[in-house]
Amino acid sequence: MPEPAPRSDSGRVTDWNDAPLSLLCDHIVSVHHARTREGLERLTGLVSGAAAPLFGALRTEVEEHMREEETRLFPAMTALEQHDVDGFPLETIEAYEAHHVRTGAAIRELRRLLAGEPDALAALEELDADLHRHIHEENEVLFPRALAALGRAY
């Protein structure tokens, strides 16, 4: 089944390849970060046993990652639209992409550990589905567009 077309917060179809970086950043925060926080909270009440330490570490790391994006990376992306490259955290894009890979690996391991817990597994699958869209929008759209804009700004 094809993935639904991306929509802005207003519900209109949005082509994130052409939308302002600030709009894409706002979308990621208001939609994906909100869903991720809700999914992590839901899982907190469902994960136990051998999966609990891994889930706790994942939750802490993902929450810190989102805070860093919201307070450092996304404001720099918005400034980049105005050709302000001072302080752009170029070195962190690779670190964010590496974090996305680690998150995927942790989710796969949690899926294995939660195989006998249908409620927890269903909540994890829901979180993972949105994380895939979230990470795609960052790795495949936002980061390449920011790097291209950064190249034009010099």
pLDDT tens digits, 56-77: 999 999 999 999 999 999 998 8
Question: What pLDDT, on the 0 to 100 scale, is given for residue 10?
Answer: 55
**1 is a domain residue:** no
Question: What pLDDT, on the 0 to 100 scale, is given for residue 11?
Answer: 58
**142 is a domain residue:** yes
Question: What pLDDT, on the 0 to 100 scale, is given for residue 12?
Answer: 58
Tokens, residue 66: 């989102």
Question: What pLDDT, on the 0 to 100 scale, is given for residue 114?
Answer: 96
**129 is a domain residue:** yes
Containing 77, the helix (H) or strand (E) segment is: helix 74-81
The count of domains in the chain is 1
**16 is a domain residue:** no
**6 is a domain residue:** no
**94 is a domain residue:** yes
Residues 6+ apart with CB under 8 A from 82: none
Question: What pLDDT, on the 0 to 100 scale, is given for residue 86?
Answer: 75
Question: What pLDDT, on the 0 to 100 scale, is given for residue 147?
Answer: 86
Question: What pLDDT, on the 0 to 100 scale, is given for residue 5?
Answer: 46
**83 is a domain residue:** yes
Residues 6+ apart with CB under 8 A from 54: 106, 109, 110, 113
Intervals of the chain under pLDDT 70: 1-13, 152-154
User: Is the Cβ–Cβ distance between 40 and 121 less than 8 Å?
Assistant: no
**8 is a domain residue:** no
Q: Which domain holds residue 50?
A: 21-153
